[in-house]
């Protein structure tokens, strides 16, 4: 992970922790939308740490009926569900349309707001009240965690060493606990997405 990931997850977890209280006191399903257009790492980690009942990520298309079943099961146990969803999460083909057709400043198709769609669909399909919270830019700012501060410092030191060595065309990266140099072509050639087995670990706690 790059520096900033740990901080973004921490911000999301703090929000989820606070929303648990509101979900229970108002007896409604709460949907927390976090960053993650193409990869669901923040949703996965914050959802697990925050005790979410459902986690939705871009790497695994979701069945809206199954999501609603989780919500209904949770309410049947006298608890209000928390759903953590990455902004790029998509339903199974033909079940919901999320793209607006518009482009953002980077030429990407603008998504219609997964939290808003889930809020409406859950309420309509289950009869239970649902509300969305979009963390958005809140995750991008604030005070960095100690882990991120140390990681950024280590990256800076190793990047300076690479410059001094005349080693160009590389970037510094975290591999395990070590800082290594990686060719730019290797670093940018493939998107690092959530492996299916990691998501299946989280599914054990759904419902």
Question: Which residues of the chain form CATH 3.40.50.460?
Answer: 5-142+191-203
Among 80-89, 135-144, 154-163, 176-185, the minimum mean pLDDT is found in 135-144
Q: Is the pLDDT of residue 102 over 70?
A: no
> Helices 5-26 and 41-50 meet at what angle, rounded to 10?
50
pLDDT band at 79 (very low <50, low <70, confident <90, very high): confident
Quick: pLDDT tens for 133-173.
898 888 788 899 999 999 999 999 999 999 999 999 999 99
pLDDT over threshold 80, residue 101: no
Residue 93 binned pLDDT confidence (cut-offs 50, 70, 90): confident
Contact by Cβ (8 Å): 16, 52? yes
CATH architecture of 5-142+191-203: 3-Layer(aba) Sandwich (3.40)
49-63, 113-127, 129-143: which has the minimum mean pLDDT? 129-143
b/e map 46-75, b = 16+ CB within 10 Å? bbbebebbbbbbbbbebebeebbebbbebb
Rounded to two decimals, the pTM is: 0.85
Q: Is the pLDDT of residue 97 over 60?
A: no
Structure confidence by residue, pLDDT tens digits, 1-20? 788 999 999 999 999 999 98
The Cα–Cα gap between 53 and 71 comes to 8
Q: From its phi and psi, is residue 146 left (phi > 0), alpha (psi between -120 and 50) or beta?
A: alpha
Examine the pLDDT at 100 and tell me if it is beyond 80.
Answer: no
Question: Which pLDDT tens digit goes with each residue over 40-59?
Answer: 999 999 999 999 999 999 99
- pLDDT confidence band for 178 (50 / 70 / 90): very high
Write the DSSP string, 126-161: H-S-EEEEE-GGGGGSSPPPHHHHHHHHHHHHHHHH
Mean pLDDT estimate for the chain = 87
Q: What is the full DSSP assignment across 42-53?
A: HHHHHHHHHT-S
């Amino acid at each position: 992970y790059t520096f900033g990931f740990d901080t973004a997850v921490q911000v999301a977890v703090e929000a989820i922790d606070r929303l648990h209280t509101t979900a229970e006191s108002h007896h409604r399903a709460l949907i927390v939308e976090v960053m993650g257009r193409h990869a669901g790492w923040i949703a996965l980690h914050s959802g697990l740490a925050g005790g979410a009942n459902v986690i939705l990520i871009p790497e695994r298309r979701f069945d809206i009926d199954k999501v609603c079943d989780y919500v209904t099961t949770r309410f049947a146990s006298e608890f209000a569900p928390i759903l953590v969803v990455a902004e790029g999460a998509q339903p199974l083909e033909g079940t919901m349309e999320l793209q607006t057709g518009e482009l953002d400043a980077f030429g990407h198709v603008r998504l219609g707001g997964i939290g808003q769609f889930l809020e409406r669909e859950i309420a309509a399909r289950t009869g239970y009240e649902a509300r969305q919270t979009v963390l958005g830019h809140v995750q991008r700012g604030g005070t960095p965690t100690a882990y991120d501060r140390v990681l950024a410092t280590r990256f800076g030191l190793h990047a300076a060493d690479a410059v001094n060595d005349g080693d160009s065309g590389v970037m510094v990266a975290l591999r395990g606990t070590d800082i290594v140099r990686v060719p730019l072509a290797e670093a940018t050639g493939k998107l690092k997405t959530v492996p299916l087995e990691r998501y299946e670990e989280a599914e054990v706690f759904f419902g």
